[in-house]
Amino acid sequence: MSTYGTFPGSRPRRLRTNPAMRRMVAEHRLHPADLILPAFVREGAAEPVPISAMPGVVQHTRDTLRRAAVEALEAGVSGIMLFGVPEDAKKDAAGTAGTDPEGILQVAIRDVKAEVGDDLVIMSDLCLDEYTDHGHCGVLDSEGRVDNDATLERYAEMAQIQADAGVHVVGPSGMMDGQVGVIRDALDQTGHEDVSVLAYTAKYASAFYGPFREAVGSSLQGDRKTYQQDPANARESLRELELDLAEGADMVMVKPALPYLDILAKVAESVDVPVAAYQISGEYAMVEAAAANGWIDRDRAILETLTGIKRAGANMILTYWATEVARQL
């Protein structure tokens, strides 16, 4: 039997006694403005195409993409990250559909801009993988290797074309050396000084991208280990961070999110620019699959994963649940 002056002398449980108390002392809070919705738009689609590995996510038509943008805006989501899915016949070795002013991504940017204007931050994936017949994020040399510097020239052109279409933020995701600096120069030299660069600073060669390959109709054979980061490395991400900031990145990102929360925390502690994290397709698919089997509480798991990402230091979170979660919040 306990008496006065005995342990436990400290009782942290006092601050967990009821929902109001827990809410009052919460150290981190999700807000709709933290969230960015990644969205896919498929060229020539007459109706949305479900992505089998990502239940609830589709390749949009131009019309349904516009509606998705409005819904995200009305829910309080801050931004939408657009990925174009061209017709297979338009893919080639140089990814020319990615720099065609009438390419699907550029058309989608204009569509969304016409629908929501500047009320929703319109972001675009700046990469060649969706548009190349080999599926890599750059152009290949004579030996089949990704040619870093030749790819930079393509990225510079993509940046200008996407900016011309009205994008607010470009997201170079190819992990080419020097990509942020080249893109920043290309934007500035073509009168697009106000377009921001969200650097994919630490993008790892992850197994969790699997469902995304279906989402964008990837033609990739092999892997991207010669340009995406090795999952075993942490210090390397800080070197990439230093380079991206020196080259003019306005915001930086860690991708994937959950397997790399340690990297996210290191990055967040090291910078004075906004930090994003991308909760990628495999992370989404795991929760949805487990919930579909009755193994976890879906809604609680979603909020717990997002809170963990926020707690690790993300100011912004790209998540396929963005609109749904924003409505709940």
Asked if the peptide bond before residue 38 counts as cis, ω within 30 degrees of 0, the response is no
The b/e string for 263-288 (b: 16+ C-beta within 10 A; e otherwise) is bbbbbbeebeeebbbbbbbbbbbbbb
pLDDT band at 235; cut points 50, 70, 90: very high
Q: Mark whether 225 is an active-site residue.
A: no
**Residue pLDDT, tens place only, 110-141:** 999 999 999 999 999 999 988 998 888 889 99
pLDDT of residue 1: 53
Under a CB-based contact definition with an 8 Å cutoff, are residues 127 and 172 in contact?
A: yes
Question: 113, 225, 255, 310: which one is catalytic?
Answer: 255
pLDDT of residue 326: 98
pLDDT of residue 6: 77
Round the average pLDDT of the chain to a whole number and report it. 94
* 302 token code pair: 């979603």
Question: 203, 225, 266, 310: which one is catalytic?
Answer: 203
The lowest-confidence range among 11-25, 134-148, 190-204 is 134-148
pLDDT of residue 3: 61
Flag whether pLDDT at 182 surpasses 70: yes
Q: Mark whether 255 is an active-site residue.
A: yes
